[in-house]
Amino acid sequence: MIIERTLAPLVVYGEDPVLRALEKITANKARIVFVVSEHGHLIGALSDGDFRRWVATQSPVDLTRPAREAANTAARTVPATSSPAEIRGQFSASIDHLPLVDGSGHLVAVAINRSDSLRIGRHDVGAGKPSLLIAEIGINHNGSVDLAKHLVDLAKKSNADVVKFQLRDLDALYRGAGASSAGEDLGPQYTLDLLSRFNLTGPQLFEVFDHCRAIDIDVMCTPWDAPSVDALVEYGIPALKIASADLTNHDLLRHAARSGTPMILSTGMSTEGEILETVDLLKASGTAYALLHCQSTYPAPFKDVNLRYLTRLAELGDCPVGYSGHERGFHVPIAAIGMGATIIEKHFTVDRGMEGNDHKVSLLPDEFAEMVARIREVEEALGTDAARAISTGEMMNRVNLAKSLVAAADITEGETITADKVDIKSPGRGLQPNALTRLVGRRANRSLAAGDFFYATDLSDAVARGRNYTFRRPWGLPVRYHDIAAMTEHSTPDFLEFHFSYKDLEIDPATIFTERSTMGYACHAPDLFTGDFILNMASEDDAHWQRSIEELQRVIELTKSLRQWFTTDVDPVVISSLGGFTKDRHVPADELPDMYARVEAGLKQVDDSGVRLCAQTLPPFPWYMGGQLFCNLFVGAADTAAWAAENGRRLCLDVSHSKLAANFNGAPFSGYVDLLAPHADHLHLVDATGVDGEGVQVGDGEVDWALLAQQLDQHAPGVSFIPEIWQGHVNNGEGFWVALERLEQWF
């Protein structure tokens, strides 16, 4: 059971329209909202069923009516002072959300009957959520408050989600007087001796907990006795951790459960029968809980870890499960993530040679940080069990490596396509070979020359064709030398943007152009040059940096030479991705200023007179040569805008790239546009999904185009654009025509 106190997704006001309630019902996926007065008093509930019953009484249906009129005012409520067990008893087969109200009828929380997740501080724990990574400091502070705080700081820096400690009332915990070990065996004597010297009292630990709050990291604690439970609950600890040694201590478990505080329990040193007994107790208590698989030896032999038991434990516990590891290294916890663990707990220290049994099975800060990084990568790699889709990188390689259906001979419009007129050739720009049987026998809806690709539109009566479009800012088309005629046959853009490959740089423009064009032009520098060379003006390698300068200069000189073929007097835009990528990780933020300075030092050696050089905004994970890299510069909005302002540089705002960057940084894209658009001399308009889904067709991704259009009208009026759709040029520009058709409604 979860007690949800963040109520906004589950609440509407009585005067809100029914439509607003339906929107929240859809968004929160709970299929219910609770209707409250402007002062927070509960009016009733509004579920799918309540809405259907209300609709049946309406003629006509008016979704602007107040939500209070559709609410079920007889919805079951529970006093907020009820124990978890009492709340649990009010659920039924048809009721899995219960409003908790105070004595005045205010809605203060919602109890949700689910066992597959729980909340620890600010972290939701369960399948599909990032795993909760706990740095178990325990008593590795060796009795020092200062060392405890230092360990907290290091855990925060190591990207732990939670730090965990232990609290003992030695008089309540051990027989005899306090930590006296008289008459005990060697093991208890050793433990009691350590505790007598290293134990921190409640007030001392609470000082450490206050430090955790100050540096913004969640904290948990293991109570070893009932007085410690009470002290921790009174402090307001967000969750309790029950040690393996207390899994069979039902009195302690009942005492902890009565507080309603979520619990995580380790199952080391326990039989399956004992685990089942505890699960029954926890379910009856109504408290939220999770179980950790654990091998309670220090260090644990790998042969005894038995990670496959995680699957069994999840079945037994009917709850989130995790792994508390005491083995050497951190590769086993990473494997546990692949086995379904949603919580990882590892001991944490600054020195494995310090006195105490836990130190020698602990991770050092850099090791913990490495474990966190690898776990987050594995979580990404696990993905979902949804139907397989082609990734962005695979799409690029499919074009390069796969095969297509192509015309084996000239075909005239209206001619029946026969098998002997179709061949299978690389690259994979057109219809895949498995469409052959659907293609043969159709009448051609256009004329094809031998070697032309067949496309999806060849399987229908549709023909991809452009027209003249109307925009309130200059618009252009991305072209290569070889497809200028095809792209402009039915459309006259304001300008052409030449997307050069490194081979195009060797072509004499006089072999392409025969007369001057009244259209304008822009040029996009290649990212990749001969010899697998990627332009990178931030490179620390002097040879790479110098060649990047020279290649950019070569593009600029070619751009200048093209002016004789165009009548425009406006300096052409040159768009370039200036680099700043790394191969294995993103660099820390404090390294960015030096990288930007390196770029600027290189640009000072470039003669860009006669052109408008624009640095393209970049995505966090650029795709080069069908593989993913990590981009660091021109990704963040604030640092990119600051670089442009400080150095008087201009940008090409690539909407897809910057939307991906905003997603990656968890920031609103509108904020990115506000910062970047005032520095833009050129725009690439294209949609995006996630953190690396670039080049998506306009309207098929996550960009709010209506809002973007308003922002660009405000911050970048009259700035030119192209539709930068990935593979938009295939099938005579089909992707571009679709994009332009859609963009007309906003721009």
Same domain assignment for residues 346 and 364? yes
Nearest alpha carbon to residue 136 among 166, 169, 158 = 166
Distance between CA atoms of 732 and 716, rounded to whole angstroms?
Answer: 30
- DSSP class of residue 238? S
Same domain assignment for residues 443 and 505? no
Look at residue 394 and tell me if it is in a domain.
no
Q: What pLDDT does 626 receive?
A: 55
- Whether 495 and 520 have beta carbons less than 8 Å apart is answered as yes
Nearest alpha carbon to residue 112 among 31, 16, 13 = 31
Look at residue 657 and tell me if it is in a domain.
yes
Same domain assignment for residues 128 and 198? yes
Q: What pLDDT does 158 receive?
A: 96
Q: What pLDDT does 14 receive?
A: 93
Look at residue 392 and tell me if it is in a domain.
no
The tens digit of pLDDT for each residue in 451-501 reads: 999 988 899 877 778 899 999 999 999 999 988 988 998 899 999 999 999
Look at residue 731 and tell me if it is in a domain.
yes
User: Three-class SS of residue 390?
Assistant: coil
- DSSP class of residue 346? E
Domain containing residue 422: CATH number: 3.90.1210.10
- DSSP class of residue 66? B
Cis peptide before 299 (omega within 30 of 0): yes
Same domain assignment for residues 221 and 301? yes
Distance between CA atoms of 282 and 500, rounded to whole angstroms?
Answer: 66
- Whether 703 and 669 have beta carbons less than 8 Å apart is answered as yes
Structure tokens at 424: 């299978």
Q: What pLDDT does 383 receive?
A: 87
What element of type H or E holds 189? helix 186-198
Cis peptide before 60 (omega within 30 of 0): yes
Q: What's the N-to-C CA distance of the chain in angstroms?
A: 50
Strands 107-112 and 97-101, how do they pair?
A: antiparallel
Domain containing residue 555: CATH number: 3.20.20.150
C-alpha distances in angstroms, 232 versus 209, 241, 324?
A: 10, 11, 22
Same domain assignment for residues 568 and 632? yes
Could you say which of 112, 138, 159 is where a domain stops? 112
Look at residue 388 and tell me if it is in a domain.
no
Same domain assignment for residues 190 and 74? no
Helices (H), 339-448: 365-382, 392-401, 436-439
Q: Which residue stretches of the chain have pLDDT < 70?
A: 172-196, 625-627
Beta carbons within 10 angstroms of residue 123's beta carbon: 18
Structure tokens at 557: 């000189």
Q: What pLDDT does 609 receive?
A: 96
Nearest alpha carbon to residue 158 among 138, 139, 174, 137 = 137
Q: What pLDDT does 271 receive?
A: 95
Q: What pLDDT does 642 receive?
A: 97
Same domain assignment for residues 503 and 623? yes
Structure tokens at 433: 């070979």
Cis peptide before 99 (omega within 30 of 0): no
Structure tokens at 553: 């200069």
Q: What pLDDT does 625 receive?
A: 58
Q: What pLDDT does 192 receive?
A: 64
- Whether 304 and 281 have beta carbons less than 8 Å apart is answered as no
- Whether 8 and 28 have beta carbons less than 8 Å apart is answered as no
Domain containing residue 289: CATH number: 3.20.20.70
Give, to the nearest 10 degrees, the angle between helix 48-55 and helix 18-28. 150
Q: What is the Cα 199 distance to its own chain's centre?
A: 41
Look at residue 464 and tell me if it is in a domain.
no
Domain containing residue 61: CATH number: 3.10.580.10
Structure tokens at 108: 């203060």
Same domain assignment for residues 129 and 265? yes
Structure tokens at 499: 């997307």
- Whether 481 and 507 have beta carbons less than 8 Å apart is answered as yes
Structure tokens at 468: 């003249």
Look at residue 504 and tell me if it is in a domain.
yes
The tens digit of pLDDT for each residue in 348-368 reads: 999 998 887 788 889 999 999
Same domain assignment for residues 192 and 309? yes
What's the per-residue H, E or C state across 450-512?
CCCECCHHHHCCCCCCCCCCCCCCCEEEEECHHHHHHHCCCCCCCEEEEECCCCHHHCCHHHC
Could you say which of 396, 431, 459 is where a domain stops? 459
Same domain assignment for residues 244 and 366? yes
Q: What is the Cα 142 distance to its own chain's centre?
A: 38
Domain that holds residue 179: 117-382
C-alpha distances in angstroms, 535 versus 529, 566, 616, 661?
A: 7, 28, 13, 20
Could you say which of 326, 351, 382 is where a domain stops? 382
Helices (H), 199-238: 202-215, 226-235
Counting the structural domains of the chain, the total is: 4
Q: What pLDDT does 182 receive?
A: 47
Same domain assignment for residues 520 and 639? yes
Same domain assignment for residues 679 and 552? yes
Residue written as tokens 């008016």?
62
User: Three-class SS of residue 663?
Assistant: helix
Look at residue 221 and tell me if it is in a domain.
yes
Average pLDDT, the chain: 91
Q: What pLDDT does 709 receive?
A: 95
Instruction: For 333-353, give one letter per residue: b (16+ CB within 10 A) or e.
Output: bbebbeebbbbbbbbbbeebe
